[in-house]
């Protein structure tokens, strides 16, 4: 065998993975070839150096953090499935426990399972009511076009009442159930949750407030920042580009299995246009007549709603957030109630993270999405 | 892993417990394997922080899927496969995102609580030798870090973690011939790099 071929096999020879006959050939060659012998020697020394590279120690908190995550995951699930599974992980350093990600879960199991809704109690009002005046029919638009940007803290029900007093905005036709094509950037700030609702029930389903409940429902609005001081990747301008190059799962987000449900959850953002570093206020409203269970999960594997950015192909791609495991707290969102969550577009992963500019939306699994909003570069 | 010729899996007892839902048993498995998992991730990725995250993800993934583990390979091999794959993914992400925070191998590693990680063994050679070793260490690490990703992977798995060619092939889903050629080229590259920085061998 010639030197060149020998050299190519020397590495494997060192590891003793060659066939016997090859081994013999090499050894024969080495006996007489000084060059190759030196080569063997140098390669062995190199490997020796590599082996001297010291091992690092795992941080003292590593085991506990993993166990914490596992234990939270292993919690028995109460009642019917309510969790919203979202694919992003949240890993939070123990230090930054102060404000954590709050997960909003609805009743939808991420991706593959039929949605089931946990009902805290039976509705007090019969659903089928047809006689509401048309002005009320567009109630589902919490923030109609004409309303303009909403100030932080203003709650949805107050707005809804305002809406009712104004002339009704254009009413959407019955929500279709076909997979939604990617939305072009629109002025509409919200999108209805799609549900297969029989025509006769549409009016009622859109009721924001029911005749049987004259008083405005109580609003609870804990302002919770989704994450602060959490580490992860830094997102640069090239992120969108990178996402474009990655495979995407499916175009349609709003799909429902076909079960007739007259529940609705409405998600809206307070603005349509933000600057990098702004906080995005997300209002989740239970616009149905039944209670909806929310599991506020200060963390983990499955957090809250997904935050999605639109790629150049017009498809939606989830962005990853990192936070960590903590406590799950159950709350009931009564009909008409809202909650506001805040996505801080700066520092939500590591302190140097900032959301890249682009068109975004936030979705509660496949239940409901906010309208598209844009984040501009600073 | 040098123990791949063993028929029995050292971890099988704990794995059975975990399959039955014993969460605490998993903690024992973490403690046993975390250092090697971390080092594998760290040497592939190059960033200690990212390696820590990847290891967490890996163990979590192991736990979630433990019921599906059939024992066709050693439990640990399965764990390392997961961490290697997650490391590769992370590396890819970092590259495409123009990740700037590459950890300089020269810097001492600071942990979460601010203390400095000591990287050197406790042998206590003389100060001069210590310095030399340190220098050499630095150079070797630089040369390894300078490798192309696919070469560094096989080098880390073979020469640092001691996996067999078969195991490496299974983990990276490449043929044995590919393992051989990549390893050869990886070692060649490190050799040439070291020659440059260290002078003669």
Which residue would you say has higher pLDDT here, A247 or B32? B32
State how far the Cα of A169 lies from the Cα of A330, in Å rounded to an integer. 35
C-beta separation of A66 from B153 below 8 A = no
CB pairs under 8 A between A and B: 145
Q: Is the pLDDT of residue A260 over 70?
A: no
Note the Cα A276 to chain centre separation in Å: 19
Closest to B194 measured CA to CA, from A43, A331, A375: A43
Which residue would you say has higher pLDDT here, B101 or A196? B101
C-beta separation of A226 from A342 below 8 A = yes
**With an 8 Å Cβ cutoff, is A55 touching chain B?**
yes
Residues of A whose CB is below 8 A from B55: 58, 62, 66
State how far the Cα of A322 lies from the Cα of B120, in Å rounded to an integer. 32
Buried b (16+ CB within 10 A) or exposed e, A327-336: ebeeeebbbb
Q: Is the pLDDT of residue A275 over 70?
A: yes
**With an 8 Å Cβ cutoff, is A89 touching chain B?**
yes
C-beta separation of A314 from A240 below 8 A = no
Instruction: Indicate the pLDDT class of residue A256, thresholds 50, 70 and 90.
Output: very low
**Type and span of the H or E element at B16:** helix B12-19
State how far the Cα of A24 lies from the Cα of B193, in Å rounded to an integer. 30
| pTM of full prediction above 0.80 | no
Contacts of A275 (CB under 8 A, 6+ apart): A375, A376, A377, A378
* Average pLDDT score over residue span A224-238: 40
Question: Per residue in B42-73, pLDDT tens?
Answer: 999 999 999 999 999 999 999 999 988 888 88
Residues of B whose CB is below 8 A from A62: 30, 34, 38, 52, 55-56
Contact A238 B98 (CB under 8 A): yes
Question: How far, in Å, are A86, A94, A165, A320, B105 from residue B48 at the CA level?
Answer: 27, 17, 59, 20, 10
Q: Is the ipTM of this structure higher than 0.90? A: no
Least trusted range by pLDDT, from A74-88, A326-340, B81-95, B174-188: A74-88
Helix (H, G, I), strand (E, B) or coil at B157: helix
Contact A245 B180 (CB under 8 A): no
Note the Cα A66 to chain centre separation in Å: 21
Alpha helix (H) ranges present in B46-74? 48-65
Residues of B whose CB is below 8 A from A59: 52, 111-112
State how far the Cα of B97 lies from the Cα of A238, in Å rounded to an integer. 6
């Amino acid at each position: 065998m010639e030197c060149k071929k020998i050299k190519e096999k020397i590495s494997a020879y060192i590891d003793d993975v060659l066939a016997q006959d090859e081994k013999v050939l090499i050894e024969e060659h080495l006996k007489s070839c000084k060059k190759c012998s030196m080569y063997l020697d140098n390669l062995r020394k190199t490997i020796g150096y590599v082996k001297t590279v010291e091992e690092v120690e795992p941080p003292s908190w590593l085991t506990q953090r993993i166990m914490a995550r596992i234990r939270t995951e292993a919690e028995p699930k109460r009642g019917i499935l309510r969790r919203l599974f979202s694919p992003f992980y949240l890993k939070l350093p123990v230090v930054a426990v102060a404000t954590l990600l709050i997960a909003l879960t609805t009743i939808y199991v991420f991706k593959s399972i039929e949605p089931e809704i946990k009902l805290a109690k039976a509705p007090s009002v019969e659903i089928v009511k047809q006689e509401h005046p048309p002005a009320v029919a567009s109630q589902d638009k919490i923030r109609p076009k004409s309303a303009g940007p909403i100030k932080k803290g203003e709650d949805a029900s107050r707005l809804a009442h305002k809406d009712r007093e104004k002339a009704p905005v254009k009413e959407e036709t019955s929500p279709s159930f076909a997979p939604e094509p990617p939305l072009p950037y629109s002025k509409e700030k919200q999108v209805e949750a799609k549900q297969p609702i029989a025509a006769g029930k549409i009016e009622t389903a859109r009721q924001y407030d029911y005749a049987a409940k004259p008083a405005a429902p109580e609003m609870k609005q804990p302002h919770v920042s989704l994450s602060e001081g959490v580490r992860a990747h830094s997102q640069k301008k090239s992120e969108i580009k990178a996402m474009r190059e990655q495979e995407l799962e499916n175009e349609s987000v709003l799909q429902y299995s076909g079960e007739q449900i007259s529940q609705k959850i409405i998600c809206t953002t307070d603005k349509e246009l933000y600057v990098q570093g702004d906080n995005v206020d997300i209002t989740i409203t239970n616009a149905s007549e039944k209670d909806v269970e929310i599991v506020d999960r200060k963390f983990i594997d499955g957090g809250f709603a997904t935050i999605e950015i639109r790629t150049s192909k017009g498809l939606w791609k989830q962005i990853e957030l990192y936070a960590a495991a903590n406590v799950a707290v159950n709350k009931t969102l009564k009909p008409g109630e809202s909650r506001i969550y805040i996505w801080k577009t700066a520092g939500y992963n590591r302190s140097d993270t900032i959301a890249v500019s682009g068109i975004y939306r936030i979705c509660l699994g496949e239940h409901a999405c906010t309208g598209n909003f844009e984040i501009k570069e600073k | 892993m040098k123990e791949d010729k063993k028929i029995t899996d050292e971890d099988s007892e704990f794995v059975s417990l975990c399959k039955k839902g014993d969460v605490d048993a998993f903690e024992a498995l973490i403690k046993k394997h975390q250092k090697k998992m971390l080092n594998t991730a760290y040497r592939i990725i190059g960033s200690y922080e990212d390696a820590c995250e990847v290891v967490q993800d890996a163990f979590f993934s192991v736990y979630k899927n433990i019921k599906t583990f059939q024992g066709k390979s050693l439990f640990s091999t399965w764990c390392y496969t997961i961490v290697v794959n997650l490391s590769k993914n992370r590396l890819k992400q970092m590259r495409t995102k123009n990740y700037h925070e590459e950890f300089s191998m020269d810097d001492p590693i600071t942990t979460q609580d601010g203390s400095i990680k000591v990287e050197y063994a406790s042998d206590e050679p003389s100060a001069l030798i210590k310095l030399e070793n340190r220098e050499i260490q630095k150079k070797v690490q630089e040369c390894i870090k300078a490798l192309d990703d696919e070469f560094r992977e096989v080098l880390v798995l073979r020469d640092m973690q001691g996996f067999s060619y078969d195991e490496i092939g299974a983990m990276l889903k490449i043929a044995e011939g590919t393992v051989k050629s990549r390893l050869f080229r990886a070692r060649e590259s490190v050799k040439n790099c070291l020659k440059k920085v260290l002078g003669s061998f």
